[in-house]
Amino acid sequence: MDSATMIAMVSIFTAGITISIGVIAPSLGEGRAVSVALTSLAQQPDASATITRTLFVGLAMIESTAIYCFVVSMILIFANPFWNYFITPATGQ
């Protein structure tokens, strides 16, 4: 097995782990945030504007974590910065 194949295998495995863990945690956090917000809205309907606004800001921040993990996994698959270090010595350039 040459070094390019090894880099490809490690990159694909790392991208899979990154996206799986990076999506599970934010989805659990979003579910909990929506659940607590709905409970708060049921208990205090007068504060619905404040609770809703705070909920959407919080959900956007939680979702940004999943988006960052997705970007890192796409970089590892399509624009891997480690390719240049292992392919250049192999071709002799």
Closest CA to 26 of 55, 61, 75: 61
Q: What is the pLDDT of residues 66-82, one digit of tens each?
A: 999 999 999 888 888 77
pLDDT at 90 over 70: no
Q: Is the pLDDT of residue 92 over 60?
A: no
| Claim: this prediction has a pTM higher than 0.85 | no
Say if CB 66 and CB 23 are below 8 A apart. yes
Upper half-sphere CA count for residue 55 (Cβ side, 13 Å)? 18
Contact 38, 51 (CB under 8 A): no
d(CA 57, CA 39): 18
Q: What is the pLDDT of residues 36-68, one digit of tens each?
A: 999 999 999 999 999 999 999 999 999 999 999
What residue ranges define each of the domains in the chain, with the CATH number in brackets? Answer: 8-80 (1.20.20.10)
Please report the pLDDT score of residue 71 as a whole number: 92
